[in-house]
Amino acid sequence: MKIVINALSARRGGGQTYLLNLLQNLDHCKATEIMILAPESLNIPTNPKIKRIEVNWPIDNPLLRTLWERYLLSGLLKKLNADVLFCPGGLVTSAVPNKCKTVTMFRNMIPFDPAQRAKYPFGLMKMRNWLLERALLKSMIKADICIFISDFARQVIEERAKGCLNNTIIIPHGLSEHFKIPVNSSLSRPKWLPKDEYLLYVSIFDVYKNQLEVVRGFHLLKSRRKTQEKLVLAGFNSSKYGQKVRSEIFRLGLQNDVILTGNITYIELPNIYYHAKINIFASECENCPNILLEALGAGRPLIVSNRQPMPEFGGDAVTYFNPSSPEDLALKLVSIIDDSVLMQNLSARARERSRQFCWKQTARMTWEAINQR
């Protein structure tokens, strides 16, 4: 079996992490050859089964990349005698040879969430989400197999597809051992962190991530108890929404209490999760909440958005709150932050829950699904 993976859109972050873990766990892959189309930034594991296919085309440009996939990828699949085209980015825009099976994944929930789409002003992002909704749905209906990361996502798409999906399977993402931190670990505390204890929220700044509400909830917390803890907001924040968050921090007089770190290196993330007093995850819209999984592995108490699919992944190991309500966040923080017994209990449950997520299992299930004929 020859598998071609179109990973040209996996340019950073979770997309690359997913592919690397699949390619590092090939025990259940029956392919004689895996040929991968990927950006240069993806460091493909050394394995005689895996071969990188170079594309003589300006694939860094999304529009030109789409044109290549639409009109030229089909010929390449025929030339390579491919048995499977796997598109983990979600879009299947190319025709395929008759004997070639297509496998895709659903990775982007925003285009299918009207409430979140409505938050974006008219412009490029709103148009992009409108186009993606149609293109992704068409790809999933067209594919022989569609992989979903959560049951919630599958339910949403099955309703939209009106029974037209061919074959679906739920395969949650795994969690790297890098994030599974043992009890009483000696993991170092980064020197740039505040000397005080801190509450942590790791995420790119965006309207559906609710950093504004988290800042306001933290302000309410400070008004109700003598709070020495700082709030650390880690993630890319050079956006219009990031500027709104900065303005709100200034308006509430929290300049000395809220720390915006910008991007944090992947290797340092476990350290800051582990040393947080409480980890917060306030997103309203996710397909697979990878940040929630990473924070579970640190074994610290979590306060998490009650919107699906967060409860599907967090189970009873976390405390839930309404992510659009600063008042609810403040109430939940007050209810646990000074209760040492509850905090220890939540820590233990988070660490135990994280053991359910394993990349080896994710890879096994994925290759077994792709192997189906």
The predicted model gives 232-261 an average pLDDT of: 95
pLDDT higher for 273 or 287?
A: 273
pLDDT higher for 62 or 359?
A: 359
Is 2-174+358-371's fold the same as 177-354's? yes
Give the whole-angstrom CA distance, residue 21 versus residue 43: 12
Number of Cβ within 10 Å of residue 346's Cβ equals 21
| pLDDT (0 to 100) of residue 12 | 65
| pLDDT (0 to 100) of residue 373 | 61
> pLDDT tens digits for 45-82?
888 999 999 888 887 787 888 888 888 899 999 999 99
Give the whole-angstrom CA distance, residue 343 versus residue 69: 50
Give the whole-angstrom CA distance, residue 32 versus residue 15: 24
Domain 177-354, CATH number (from 3.10.20.30, 3.40.50.2000, 3.40.50.300, 3.40.50.10490): 3.40.50.2000
The predicted model gives 198-208 an average pLDDT of: 96
Q: What percent of the chain has pLDDT over 90?
A: 68
Local confidence band at 193 (pLDDT 50, 70, 90 cut-offs): very high
Give the whole-angstrom CA distance, residue 117 versus residue 73: 31
CATH classification (class only), 2-174+358-371 = alpha beta
| pLDDT (0 to 100) of residue 64 | 86
pLDDT higher for 72 or 244?
A: 244
Domain ranges for the chain: 2-174+358-371, 177-354
Looking at residue 81, its amino acid is N
* Three-class secondary structure of residue 181 per DSSP: coil
The predicted model gives 343-369 an average pLDDT of: 95
Residue 115 clears pLDDT 90, i.e. is over it: no
Please provide the average confidence, as pLDDT, over all residues in the chain. Answer: 92
Query: Which residues have CB under 8 Å from 240's CB, separation 6+?
Result: none
Q: Taking Cα atoms as reference points, which of 148, 122, 125 lies closest to residue 136?
A: 148
Residue 155 clears pLDDT 90, i.e. is over it: yes
Q: Taking Cα atoms as reference points, which of 272, 299, 291, 278 lies closest to residue 191?
A: 272
CA angle 141, 147, 153 (to 5 degrees): 80
| pLDDT (0 to 100) of residue 121 | 81
Residue 139 clears pLDDT 80, i.e. is over it: yes
| pLDDT (0 to 100) of residue 38 | 85
| pLDDT (0 to 100) of residue 243 | 96
Task: Tell me how far CA of residue 170 lies from CA of 76, 77, 152, 173, in angstroms.
Answer: 30, 27, 10, 10
| pLDDT (0 to 100) of residue 57 | 80
> pLDDT tens digits for 290-304?
999 999 999 999 999
DSSP string, 293-323: HHHHHHT--EEEE-STTHHHHHTTSSEEE-T
| pLDDT (0 to 100) of residue 67 | 87
Question: Is the distance from CB of 316 to CB of 255 less than 8 angstroms?
Answer: no
Q: Taking Cα atoms as reference points, which of 323, 321, 340 lies closest to residue 331?
A: 321
Give the whole-angstrom CA distance, residue 295 versus residue 196: 20
Exposure string for 9-42, b = 16+ CB within 10 A, e = fewer:
bbbeeebbbbbbbbbebbeebebebbbbbbbeeb
| pLDDT (0 to 100) of residue 366 | 95
Q: How many residues does the chain have?
A: 373
Looking at residue 142, its amino acid is K
Question: Is the distance from CB of 319 to CB of 304 less than 8 angstroms?
Answer: yes
Q: Out of 10-14, 271-275, 291-295, pick the least confident.
A: 10-14
The DSSP code for 54 is: P
Residue 307 clears pLDDT 80, i.e. is over it: yes
Local confidence band at 11 (pLDDT 50, 70, 90 cut-offs): low
Query: Which residues have CB under 8 Å from 121's CB, separation 6+?
Result: none
Number of Cβ within 10 Å of residue 270's Cβ equals 20
The DSSP code for 190 is: P
